[in-house]
Chains A and B, each alone.
Chain A
């Protein structure tokens, strides 16, 4: 724990990517083998199942600190992080003991089979053996979510440096469902660990937003233009008589998508398709939120299957007949994908659509097509170089996304709440309202889009203009106006305003506008009528 806690501190104390990489390399070189693989698992979001409840952590730590519940809650609102709050509230320890990281994790996992008395004894016992920083890391192990500003890219780079393996190979080995227990990084990266699984997806190739005019990309003849769908980016994998559906977030979602289950008998073994998973009805793609509810549920209801069955809009083929073909050109891969789909469609009806090419002869034509993206329920266009190979992670050069400008509306700041993480203790989570006659109706929450300087200014303003406090939330004098941008708008009976926005964020602070000049509910309804796609009643 000491070494891991120091690594955590070193990473946390720098903003430099190189220093973070160095800290990791140093840790890989010096720490225990069983610890280093857990380190990679934790930093890449593979945390063990949680075995202690939040309420238990509050209760037990409250007994040690002697602080009342309300004061624990207030502290949490300000710190914005459960593990950190508890580590700060616990009494300091004069003597500390070290425990191996993997031992601590195994002990924590074992708590699943223990009763409350035993769990309490273990946790409170450990709380008396760590210094503040170790306490924080220990609590993070319990609550999960190691957000330390280490991207997958940094982990991959550090592993590649330490083990002297190509970064692309490391990236591939790190995807999917490997386990840290009884495993080592050496075995995992060599591809011969005992957890190698058929389900392993390829690292996704991701595009950056287009930065310059499309004309600068050269001749349009070198490019494929596709639409950019608003669904779940995923891979469908069929290997050795088994089917797997992965999302880009490295989540295995096979069970959530029964629509694809028959493909196991249809697609040839050794097939990996990359595409966008979307709900469809009457031949029309539906907005993301229609599918969102089912992702969250444990079981997919019959109703959901009937009302909004899913399809994959396929745009790439990564593995064909068991062979990794990512090095081939997109043009070749696409041809193989088209042939494959055509072949199986002769005999079967499958939930697989090819992502159609948008035919344009000039960049001007592309620009025009981009503007009608919303007519196709799309976010914009994808520009892909025909001779591009399928790369690893987010890369510039060959693939670009070119989204349409967001829709926007001017809202009045009505409520402010303290943020989390680096915005903790600042009022930065906002609720905005539009006018309905003389009344202000809340229509969305947003917390990103302001600069640090603006955040500090708004925070100071909120503190001076508070009307009322409800726990961590403050209502403020309706004065400040912000332009809110969003990708889509849909009807929602759950919201007072009757609409739900997709990806709302602050575009800018309209210091030039008074509250009276903000938009109205009628303006929202108008946008809804133009761009909204209704769910069936």
Chain B
């Protein structure tokens, strides 16, 4: 039912693309990160919470159809519905059914609960398209609550030493997740403009977040002391960041599991916190779909496909796409280009 062509994942029966990377007429979007929601589509279908971000990033005039989770639409006989992917708020798996055959495109997903996005729900299907960003057994993420506790004690320690704490994380998704778990009794929280813009969208559409102060021209940098600052990765090593000295830099990413990448990024602290599935989560998710055919996209795709074939006897294939997953060095992070 689905094929992969040079524009993206295509459903010929419905004449619709999922997360296309070239301009097409009709697109279903799994989530609003820039490697999945691109500019130039004739029209977009996405979860209602993804649409405000897409309009903010891609233009207020884009043509959108908002769906709730599990709400079904039919296009030329193909039943299409969205199901929680747990990746970021408004992220969805796309379920397509035609004449009894079911495919699910998962986009990016995680099984950990983060309290800011609807938790992942397994969807039974015949064919499942999965990411494999962390599809290697060395990636076993710790309990997120432990990580949030670590972040808070790190903040407290830095504050005692008279230093600010800067956390670099994606403006969309991770930043709200980190923010929602900060212990606001420790001190004041500041945000970079790129993060603040997305926070506002979250608060307008979903729920309140802890009180933060946007660092703009009106803020006297000398008054920022022992504070927590949430910034996008692209702000690292910029004059903006240097104006916050003295500070300690923490990076929240699944890549922080490896010592080499942690050291390469030159962060003072790496926190293993990811919005993607780790090894165990991927294996659990795939088994719960009951799918026989697995298409493995962005990540350690050849290794992970081989594992699915040899260990579970699944018909697993690797597929080339232009999705980038969780970028360590952020070459994709256009989401911060707005500021």
Chain A positions within 8 Å of B, measured between CB atoms, are: 12-15, 65, 67-68, 70-71, 74-75, 78-81, 84-85, 88-89, 92, 136, 149, 420-426, 452-453, 456-457, 459-460, 469
Contacts and interface: CB of A to CB of B under 8 A. Distances in A.
| Of listed A70, A71, A136, residue having the most chain B CB within 10 A | A71
Contacts of B264: 422-423, 426, 452
A352 to B, nearest CB: 44
B260 A420 contact: yes
Contacts of A65: 137
A456 B328 CA distance: 9
A65 B140 CA distance: 13
A75 B137 contact: yes
B264 to A, nearest CB: 4
A460 B307 CA distance: 24
B13 interface: no
Nearest to A460: B331
7 contacts: A12-B259, A67-B137, A81-B260, A88-B137, A423-B260, A453-B329, A457-B331
A127 to B, nearest CB: 15
Contacts of A136: 259
A425 B258 contact: yes
B268 A13 contact: yes
Interface in B121-179: 136-138, 140
Contacts of B259: 12, 81, 84, 136, 424
A85 B138 contact: yes
Interface of B: 136-138, 140, 255, 257-261, 263-264, 266, 268-269, 300, 302-303, 306-307, 310-311, 328-329, 331
Given A13-B268, A423-B260, A71 B329 contact: no
A50 to B, nearest CB: 21
B260 A79 contact: yes
Nearest to A76: B138
A425 B137 contact: no
Given A13-B268, A14-B268, A457-B331, A75 B138 contact: yes
Helix, strand, loop or mixed for chain A's interface?
helix
Nearest to A419: B260
A424 B138 contact: no
A92 B311 CA distance: 21
Contacts of B258: 78-79, 84, 424-425
A422 B260 contact: yes
Nearest to A13: B269
Contacts of B329: 452-453, 456, 459
Contacts of A459: 329
A143 to B, nearest CB: 14
B155 to A, nearest CB: 15
Given A13-B269, A81-B260, 12 more contacts: A78-B138, A79-B260, A88-B137, A88-B138, A89-B137, A89-B138, A420-B260, A424-B260, A425-B258, A456-B329, A456-B331, A457-B331
Chain A CB within 10 Å, residue with most, of B302, B307, B311, B329: B329
A460 B333 CA distance: 14
Contacts of B266: 15
- With a 10 A CB-CB cut-off, give which of B255, B264, B266, B306 has the most chain A CB atoms: B264
B322 to A, nearest CB: 9
A132 B324 CA distance: 29
Nearest to B248: A14
B52 to A, nearest CB: 30
B189 to A, nearest CB: 23
B331 A88 contact: no
A6 B46 CA distance: 47
Contact of B136 (A13, A70, A74, A81): A74
A74 B263 contact: no
A422 B331 CA distance: 18
Nearest to A70: B306
A70 B311 CA distance: 12
Contacts of A149: 263
A305 B236 CA distance: 56
Contacts of A78: 136, 138, 258, 300
Nearest to A469: B302
Nearest to A75: B138
B134 to A, nearest CB: 11
Contacts of B138: 75, 78-79, 85, 88-89
B268 A15 contact: yes
Contact of A425 (B140, B260, B303, B306): B260
Given A65-B137, A79-B138, A79-B260, A71 B268 contact: no
Nearest to A452: B264
B268 A421 contact: no
Nearest to A78: B136
Contacts of B263: 12, 149, 421-422
A329 B261 CA distance: 47
A88 B140 contact: yes
Contacts of B268: 13-15
Nearest to B330: A456
A465 to B, nearest CB: 12
A422 B257 CA distance: 13
A496 to B, nearest CB: 28
Contacts of A84: 258-259
A469 to B, nearest CB: 8
A127 B136 CA distance: 21
Interface centre among A12, A88, A459 (most CB of B within 10 A): A88
B220 to A, nearest CB: 27
A457 B331 CA distance: 8
B14 to A, nearest CB: 30
B274 to A, nearest CB: 15
B269 A68 contact: no
A426 to B, nearest CB: 8
B329 to A, nearest CB: 4
A90 to B, nearest CB: 10
